Amino acid sequence: MNADRRHMILGLVAFFSVGISVATWTRAAAVRLAETQGKAPEVATASASDMGYCTGELKVILRRVLTSCGLAAGPGSRGCQPLQARQVASMSGGDFNALFAPLSERAAIIEFDKDSADLDAAGADLLEKTFSDRRGASYFFVVSRASPEGSVEHNRDLSHRRGSAVLDHIRAKFQDPDIEQEVGLLWLGEEFAQLDQQFCQWHRSRVGGECTSAELNRSSFIAWIDCRL
Amino acid sequence: MPPEGYDTRVVLDSGPAVPYGLPAMPNAEGGQSEAAAPPRKTLIVLAAFALAGVVFAGVSSYDFIAHLDRQVHAITCSIVPGIGPKDASGASGCHAVLMSPYSSVLRELTWGGIPIALPALGVFAFLLFRAIDLLWHKRLPRRETQFMIAAAALPVLTSIIYAIISATQIGTFCKVCVGIYVASLGVFVAAIVAHVRAGAAEADPSGKSSSLGLWAFYFVEGVALVALPVLLYLVLKPAYADSLLRTSGLRHPEDKYGVMLDTRGGGQVPAIEVLDPLCPACKAFSERLAASGLGERLQVKYVLFPLDKECNWMVNESLHAGSCAVSEALLCAGERANAVLSWAFANQDDLRARGGGNQSAVYARIKQAFPELAGCVGQPAVRARVNKSLRWIVANSLPVLTPQLFVRNQKVPDEDTDLGLDFVLSRVLAQSAGAEGKP
């Protein structure tokens, strides 16, 4: 083969090899792009938590409580009193407490002195720790109680003040603009859904002390609810 | 037409000159009675290095071109292409280099720009072609080897420049690129050796002008072989449809939780970047944005989206362990957030490794670097702020990925935040400026 022809053939081989390779790669990308256009990306969308314990029944109760006892429900419905709570829940006190059973790791019991609505340091600390551990939860429940000593009216008022103390502390500490939409407040006095001894195992602000039924109910039960309504 | 002084006949390696019907190319062998026989072994080595360059540049071009479909692809990152698994995680140096602003040129003119590996492919193909051609020669005039040295100097110079860029700007080396560097050096050294062994200077009857003519002819061939893949790429690459830019904006762009970090950038165009401080893609994105020059036109506010299960319920596994703690540090830092972010970007590997073990190790590292933040990180108040940042993400129903960029509340498509950033961002800026009647 003469030199010119060889040169030409080698040159053509180089041109075609490079050209065909680049053309093939580029068109393949164009075809793939055409195939994927219009398809929704397979990426999860950010959303609040919806844990397995959020059964239909629980969601119904939550919706009722938030509608009737939520802070955003209106001036006349800023929290629920014991009678309202009983009506809203439409269930016995035991069943009401049982609803919160799956929340044992997400809830805390802020304990108060007898006949007092003053948050102590341990209570404030546990409250802040629990509230800041919100994760993907959408709603925060504050359920305040009083032990049976004293009159029903006094205990109703006392539990109301305990719930308010908790809310005031959260408002002051966290300045959350959504707090009106996310908090459900119930004060139950001594009349409805008293906590029994099994709640002694839950996170309490006075872990070193005795855990009698009376001490357990001088409290505000707080919990983030990981349910989407 | 051949250069003046060249016969329109060819001289066969063995045999008489014969008429040649086609337009003749410069005859490199004519009248080379005093030229030495080709050092074949050296030319074979030269061809082998050129072939290696073709393979490495081809692999690099292929990986770049594959990304024109705007999807994520595993890329080759091996000194022996085809051996070993491809990098699908984006953790390799090859991925860092591919996604860096230095992997292509003219990025604002065409989506992704023109990959630098593409002309490299043409150059190595040309060098291979020349080496094989010379192997067939009976004589090897020094003007041939002089041209080879000049031609081989181009990839060597380019390799030196890119090696410096890799070391100083990107901070990592790509194995495929190292293959190209070695191939470049090999071709160059082999060309010099071939030149030395080519013997005494040729006695070319047509003189210096014929050498220049020959070199000019080869030069045109080389330019054509470089231009061919580039032109084919530009002609055949998918066009960017304007419809891709019609993305939804943020439903609640306002910062009602007070969680946005204001970078106080010098630009005028308001932008929000959703990022994870320990996400390598966010770091690379930040570097691309800075290198593009378009970032200077933005006034970016950051919203933190740590993809770490310690604080983020939206991920089952921590993609960037430790980023919750680093996010706390950023929120604690206030006006010094930029310094903390730069530090976090610079120490991503270390912080992620610590975060994979124990969060307290990340806190310890933060406190060591920024003692003034010791009283803030890990506290309920700042944890609640990180949570609010995540709630801002939820309120806007954003995809669970980072980074994300919104310019004047228009989202830069996620698929365009890497190779297509310069092209798409320049269009988004032009569109938004046009919509507001600004120059």
| Percent of chain A topping pLDDT 70 | 91
Residue B6: the pLDDT is 39
Q: Is B25 a residue whose pLDDT tops 60?
A: no
Interface test with B, best of A12, A18, A133 (most B CBs within 10 A): A18
Asked whether the beta carbons of B387 and A132 are under 8 A apart, the reply is: yes
Q: Domain limits at A23?
A: 1-43
Looking at the structure, do residues B382 and B343 belong to the same domain, yes or no? yes
What domain range includes position B396? 261-435
pLDDT in tens, B143-171: 899 999 999 999 999 999 999 999 998 88
Same domain, A114 and A20: no
Please determine, for residue B16, whether its predicted confidence score (pLDDT) is greater than 80: no
A8 CA: distance to closest CA in chain B (Å): 9
Write the single-letter amino acid at B315: V
B165 shares a domain with B123: yes
Of B12, B125, B236, the CB nearest to A26: B236
C-alpha A71/C-alpha A187 separation (Å) is 13
Same domain, yes or no, for B280 and B424? yes
Mean pLDDT confidence for A170-196: 87
pLDDT for residue A94 is more than 90:
no
A173 interaction partners in chain B (CB closer than 8 Å): 380-381
The predicted structure's pLDDT at residue B19: 36
Residue B76 and residue B86: Cα distance in Å, rounded? 5
SS (H, E, C) chain B: CCCCCCCCEEECCCCCEEECCCCCCCCCCCCCCCCECCCHHHHHHHHHHHHHHHHHHHHHHHHHHHHHHCCCCCECCCCCCCCCCCECCCCCHHHHHHCCCCCEECCCCCCCCEECHHHHHHHHHHHHHHHHHHHCCCCECHHHHHHHHHHHHHHHHHHHHHHHHHHHHHCCCCHHHHHHHHHHHHHHHHHHHHHHHCCCCCCCCCHHHHHHHHHHHHHHHHHHHHHHHHHHHHHHCCCCCHHHHCCCCCCCCCCCCCCCEECCCCCCEEEEEEECCCCHHHHHHHHHHHHHCHHHHEEEEEEECCCCCCCCCCCCCCCCCCHHHHHHHHHHHHHHHHHHHHHHHHCHHHHHHHHHHCHHHHHHHHHHHCHHHCCCCCCHHHHHHHHHHHHHHHHCCCECCCCEEEECCEEECHHHCCCCHHHHHHHHHHHHHHHCCCC
Does residue A214 register a pLDDT over 80?
yes
With CB atoms and an 8 Å threshold, state whether A27 touches B221: no
CB contact under 8 A, B69 and A30: yes
| Rounded CA separation A9/B1 (Å) | 18
Residues of chain A in contact with residue B24, where contact means CB-CB under 8 angstroms, are 4
Whether B358 and B278 map to the same domain: the answer is yes
Q: Which long-range contacts (CB under 8 A, 24 or more apart) does B69-73 make?
A: B69/A29, B69/A30, B69/A32, B69/A33, B69/A36, B69/B238, B70/A33, B70/A36, B70/B413, B70/B415, B70/B416, B70/B420, B71/A32, B71/A36, B71/B415
Residue A51 lies in a domain: no
Which of A193-197, B20-24, B319-323 holds the top average pLDDT? B319-323
Q: CA angle, corner A153, sides to A180 and A188, nearest 5?
A: 45
pLDDT digits (tens, 9 = 90+) for B217-262: 999 999 999 999 999 999 999 988 777 777 678 999 999 888 999 8
pLDDT at A102: 85
Residues A113 and A23 in one domain: no
Each residue of A110-159: pLDDT tens digit?
A: 999 999 999 999 999 999 999 988 889 988 989 999 999 989 999 999 99
| Total domains, chain A | 2
Q: Are residues B282 and B350 in the same domain?
A: yes
Interface test with A, best of B123, B254, B308, B313 (most A CBs within 10 A): B313
Question: Which CATH number does the domain housing residue B372 bear?
Answer: 3.40.30.10
Task: Please indicate whether, in this complex, the C-beta atoms of B380 and A8 are within 8 angstroms of each other.
Answer: no
CB pairs under 8 A between A and B: 160
The average pLDDT across A168-177 equals 88
Note whether A105 and A212 are same-domain residues: yes
Query: How much is the pLDDT for B204?
Result: 53
CA–CA dist B18, B15 (Å, integer): 9
pLDDT in tens, B344-384: 999 999 999 999 988 899 999 999 999 999 999 999 889 98
Closest Cα in chain B to A24 = B236
Are residues A213 and A106 both part of a single domain? yes
> Looking at the structure, do residues A25 and A73 belong to the same domain, yes or no?
no
* pLDDT (average), residues A25-29: 95
Mean pLDDT of B411-424: 90
pLDDT surpasses 80 at B10 = no
Beta bridge pairs of residue A183: A140
Between chains, do A48 and B28 touch, taking CB under 8 Å as contact?
Answer: no
User: What is the pLDDT at residue B437?
Assistant: 55
Q: Which helix (H) or strand (E) is A107 found in, with range? A: strand A107-111
Interface test with A, best of B133, B137, B243 (most A CBs within 10 A): B133
Do both B57 and B145 map to the same domain? yes
| Nearest Cα residue in chain A from B29 | A3
Whether the pLDDT of residue B291 is over 60: the answer is: yes
pLDDT at B205 over 70: no
Residue B433 has pLDDT above 80, yes or no: no
Q: What is the pLDDT of residue B35?
A: 56
Clarify whether residues A63 and A161 are in a common domain. yes
Report the percent of chain A where pLDDT is more than 90: 45
- Per the model's pLDDT, the better-predicted residue between B200 and B237 turns out to be B237
ipTM of the complex: 0.80
| Maximal CA-CA distance, chain A | 118
User: Which tokens in the block code for residue A68?
Assistant: 């009737």
Question: What is the rounded distance in angstroms from the CA atom of residue A129 to the CA atom of residue B383?
Answer: 9
Q: What is the pLDDT of residue B2?
A: 39
Residues 6+ apart with CB under 8 A from A211: A197, A200, A204
Q: Is A220 left (phi over 0), alpha (psi -120 to 50) or beta?
A: beta
Question: Could you tell me the pLDDT band of residue A79, with boundaries at 50, 70 and 90?
Answer: low
Judge whether B117 lies within some domain. Answer: yes
In a domain, B26, yes or no: yes
pLDDT of residue B8: 35
User: Is the per-residue pLDDT at B106 higher than 70?
Assistant: yes
Q: What is the pLDDT of residue B140?
A: 81
Q: Does B167 share its domain with B79?
A: yes
| A143 and A164 assigned to the same domain | yes
Query: Do A14 and A89 share a structural domain?
Result: no
Distance CA(B105)–CA(B115), nearest Å, equals 7
User: Would you say B265 and B154 are in contact if contact means Cβ atoms under 8 Å apart?
Assistant: no
pLDDT value of position A82: 67
Distance CA B264, CA B298 (A): 10
On the 0-12 / 13-18 / 19+ scale of CB atoms within 10 A, A59 is middle
**pLDDT, position B119:** 96
Q: Is residue B392 part of a domain?
A: yes
CATH code assigned at A204:
3.30.1330.60
Model confidence at B7: pLDDT above 70: no
**Between A179 and B222, the higher pLDDT residue:** B222
A135 interaction partners in chain B (CB closer than 8 Å): 311, 313, 387
Set of chain A residues whose Cβ sits within 8 Å of the Cβ of B229? 18-19, 21-22
Q: How many domains are contained in chain B?
A: 2
Residue B243 falls within a domain, yes or no?
A: no
Q: Establish if A49 belongs to a structural domain.
A: no
Indicate which CATH number applies to the domain containing B77: 1.20.1440.130
Residues A19 and A120 grouped into a single domain: no
Mean pLDDT of B43-69: 96
- Residue A101 confidence class, pLDDT cut points 50, 70, 90: confident
Nearest residue on chain B to A11, judged by CA atoms?
B129
pLDDT of residue B14: 36
Tell if the CB–CB gap between A46 and B29 is shorter than 8 Å: no
Chain B: residue whose CA lies nearest to A33? B69
A23 inside domain: yes
Distance from CA of A36 to the nearest CA of B (A): 8
The reported pLDDT for the residue numbered B156 is: 96
Identify whether A60 is part of a domain. yes
In a domain, A129, yes or no: yes
Q: Does B252 map to a domain?
A: no
